[in-house]
Structure 1
């Protein structure tokens, strides 16, 4: 059995699904050394994710990836409910799919392999590649804070099963391997991320329990190409047929994703009582159920790309990390039904939250305690997701399509990701006067149009906060041509830059932008104080959607501190007190 020379890296990522690839992509873009492995081979077939939500699209835009995925995805603008009617189904009034204010007023229906391909290719541009058919075999459980983590990987043979499982037994704390491996690799990493799915090897290796329920909800899913008399197969459809719920989601290249609900009594089970259905039987079960559910419309399947049946687990991991050195994300730490389309989005959100924090600690910009906020923020989100998933599951289990449609609209702030709010030490609540009535710390920075003052170029505010690992400080001083507003800005800048330590974090970890409420015909970009005098970073609020009006900026101005992941840390009045609070924040982070 060959053993290669040890490989050293900053972060080892186990699992190259959407979450693992997003983590790898984000870290690589920040200059962090990454090795990412996956148990799958290049030709393995799989399904899983079926779309990206509005907030996830904003995240992709922040990494410069939106156009790459947009060119290959299917925007989903329309939602339609169908109810049981006589021997068939009848159509309800169509509605907009995304009903909350968002930069992108739609979701993307897109195959997981396309999501992964876009992330993989972008990651490869940084010189990183996925090492495939590798599986973790051993991780040193005695994690020492000052030493790299030792990980042994085993290469899987072509005959290894789809889960990439390695036959093993525990012997004196080490793994012994069966004949389906032929060589191994030793990795030393500062951090390890387990993005290895619902049956996570990393989670099980460290005995992290899942808390929640294994439900009796039984569903089938398939990616198909069809010919049909059903008129709305290019809309998101929720159909409550006599035989159970059917959900259709349009996908790229004229494909559609179909979900069908089964009664648990229809399931074949193994000796332990778990559902056990051969893949060929599963395919016919799912397609036949869809045909019956769509009556009186006819549907035939010209190609089946992927099909599966599953029961629904609604669980959250008891913890997300081991000593802030080993982390889990995505399905490894939360499992739920796919009916609200949160799977890949939740995993990508986990990765987006975690990557910049690891980068800051590795760069010496933050204490290791910063990593505590990953579990604090994302585990709370996962618990909220499971609670919502239970409501969704109940609505589909015997409820009406109209009720489900209404529920999705009512909860669209959550399902879109726009309404996710974090609460941790990274959210500053020091009782300072409110400077922006419509901006709340913890939420993501909303979009709004601006004009760059030096050349009047239109600019989207969110695009001033890309995922580049830096904090963004947005100053809203009011009218720079007004003496009192200009004086207030001068005092703030003096307070912010007076301590010697401020020059270090202002120059490396923070980018400052000034947004004026002045007439662009009269103001000039160099009217601002010296430390703000960069022609690329001075803007005026644009019409018709003025940022001052949208955000409720007070007459005394406002300061907004935005984290590297686009969430607001502080929204306060522009004052020397706010400057002091910001300096304290960076001293303590």
Structure 2
């Protein structure tokens, strides 16, 4: 983007050029929103930081078209192990090993693994996609101040300063995203508190080429050394290994602790095995701490209901924790995925602006739970295998698949509004090919809802299904796609459906693993059709038995379950 083409009036200004900011910029472009992204650093980080991409994050990147190049990099890890090392004199050095699959067996997903890849590679891939749309991160640029002017179409007035040339410019935006890390200047400028505390416990982390006879280098390995020291190591791209190690109490400032201390503690934790560090690419010492912002937006609790949020915090700007279970980057990606479809739909006039307030009410509890788990795990001493128990208890959540925006209450089909929509395999009627639901839901439209009609056995349900579909035959809603899923395999029955009510390309046959899609969505009676509306972020928006009056169902039930907003009715 040249000086001549930079817009002074944009939809979204993004502050922070890390993976969270870059992901937000890519989704903004896909949504047709004009965007600029700035970062205070003169160049990107080349090593270190977040390097775990959990299965749910890989689903999100796949769905948004941003993981194509990433999947060929990094190391795919399917196992997590805890080792209790014994003293060197003991010949059974790893007798204390226990292990589990990284992704629980009960989760149906394309991604049953963790991808360990350097953050710089993730950023590079995101930047490449963004560059194809003519957008570059503007460096070294920061927002020195901004104001909000009500009544303006572009109410955010921000001052950008280039830290190298010291030149400034004024930019107007509809929305401002603070993706600028734990020391976020955007958070500080709107007076949001970063609640929590650090600790005196220092840990070292390094990325290196290593030579070792430790037997479990393909897993995520948590190790309790023979003398009480703790470490974690796992494989990375290009034969690298990341090693994290708890450091002994030290009165020195963390910035004064040398690399040699980190290496010696790692060797000590892995005894009686040997480890040599052939080349260290990056290392640092950090203090364990957990924080969460008391607000995620510029809207205050006592603000008038007519005031809508315009400034949003994402990623480390609103939550931070130890890297023990690799939650930071993944939680940040989840923040953006939750937020961007809401901004896009409000901006397009498809949703009420009150939808924007659900970003904080849905995502802040997620961060609070991440931090609660992190406090338990990062403070764990690995004795009597409590770490493995903690990990197993929270495994669905920490891998991202169990994150839910559900409130109190249940649905008649067990899955709740707010849960992740399960991704089952079905057979496309028009091609006879197997496909996953997420693949079929992928659309060129920037964001849309998906209505799944779980029709069961059409031999018995055709009349009720046809009545429901009649509601939509004259509707041309670009934001809603309909998918009819049936357990029927009889072509004659399927062909008897009126062609005016369903596009045969949207017809799916649920015959894999004894109708796993119906059973997975808890439809036990194939003579009683049900329906599910899946939100643009692949969470359930509504679920229940199929209603004959579909129009009233959409207008009323969705309005209720989406906490006061109605996607059929713009302001």
Scaled by the length of structure 2, the TM-score of the pair is 0.89
Q: Give the corresponding residue for 1:519.
A: 489
Q: Are 2:251 and 1:232 aligned?
A: no
Give the direction of change, closer, same or farther, for the CA distance of 1:377–1:552 in structure 2 (3 Å limit): same
Equivalent of residue 508 in structure 1, options 460, 478, 497: 478
Q: Distance in 1 between matches of 2:152 and 2:378?
A: 42
Q: Distance in 2 between matches of 1:476 and 1:291?
A: 56
Q: Give the corresponding residue for 1:570.
A: 542
Q: Distance in 2 between matches of 1:549 and 1:154?
A: 56
CA displacement at 1:366 relative to structure 2: 1.1
Q: Give the corresponding residue for 2:180.
A: 196
Give the direction of change, closer, same or farther, for the CA distance of 1:345–1:390 in structure 2 (3 Å limit): same
Write out aligned runs for 1:46-85 (5 A): 46-85=47-86
Q: Give the corresponding residue for 1:118.
A: 125
Q: Secondary structure at the match of 2:166?
A: strand
Q: Distance in 2 between matches of 1:237 and 1:404?
A: 12
Q: Give the corresponding residue for 2:512.
A: 543
Q: Distance in 1 between matches of 2:341 and 2:101?
A: 34
Is this contact kept in 2: 1:448–1:545, CA < 8 A? no
Q: Give the corresponding residue for 2:563.
A: none
Q: Are 2:363 and 1:378 aligned?
A: yes
Unaligned runs of 5+ in 2: 300-308, 560-566
Q: Distance in 1 between matches of 2:500 and 2:378?
A: 54
CA displacement at 1:60 relative to structure 2: 1.1
- Larger deviation: 283-292 or 555-564? 283-292
- Larger deviation: 568-577 or 181-190? 181-190
Give the direction of change, closer, same or farther, for the CA distance of 1:356–1:248 in structure 2 (3 Å limit): same
- Larger deviation: 135-144 or 106-115? 135-144
Q: Secondary structure at the match of 1:132?
A: coil
- Larger deviation: 343-352 or 572-581? 572-581
Is this contact kept in 2: 1:221–1:260, CA < 8 A? yes
CA displacement at 1:523 relative to structure 2: 4.3
Q: Distance in 1 between matches of 2:113 and 2:371?
A: 23
Q: Secondary structure at the match of 2:94?
A: strand
Is this contact kept in 1: 2:346–2:353, CA < 8 A? yes
CA displacement at 1:411 relative to structure 2: 1.1
Q: Distance in 1 between matches of 2:345 and 2:60?
A: 19
Scaled by the length of structure 1, the TM-score of the pair is 0.86
Q: Distance in 2 between matches of 1:22 and 1:308?
A: 26
Q: Give the corresponding residue for 2:41.
A: 40
Give the direction of change, closer, same or farther, for the CA distance of 1:83–1:50 in structure 2 (3 Å limit): same
Give the direction of change, closer, same or farther, for the CA distance of 1:513–1:299 in structure 2 (3 Å limit): same
Deviations 1:211-268 (A, max 9, x none): 22223332111111111122222221100112421001211111111111123x3141
Q: Distance in 2 between matches of 1:45 and 1:114?
A: 8
CA displacement at 1:438 relative to structure 2: 4.8
Q: Distance in 2 between matches of 1:386 and 1:531?
A: 51
Q: Give the corresponding residue for 1:96.
A: 101
Deviations 1:189-222 (A, max 9, x none): 1100000000001001111001222233321111
CA displacement at 1:386 relative to structure 2: 1.2
Is this contact kept in 2: 1:496–1:580, CA < 8 A? no
Cα RMSD (Å): 2.3
Q: Distance in 2 between matches of 1:528 and 1:262?
A: 68
Q: Secondary structure at the match of 2:477?
A: helix
Q: Give the total of aligned pairs.
A: 537
Deviations 1:306-326 (A, max 9, x none): 111111221110101114101
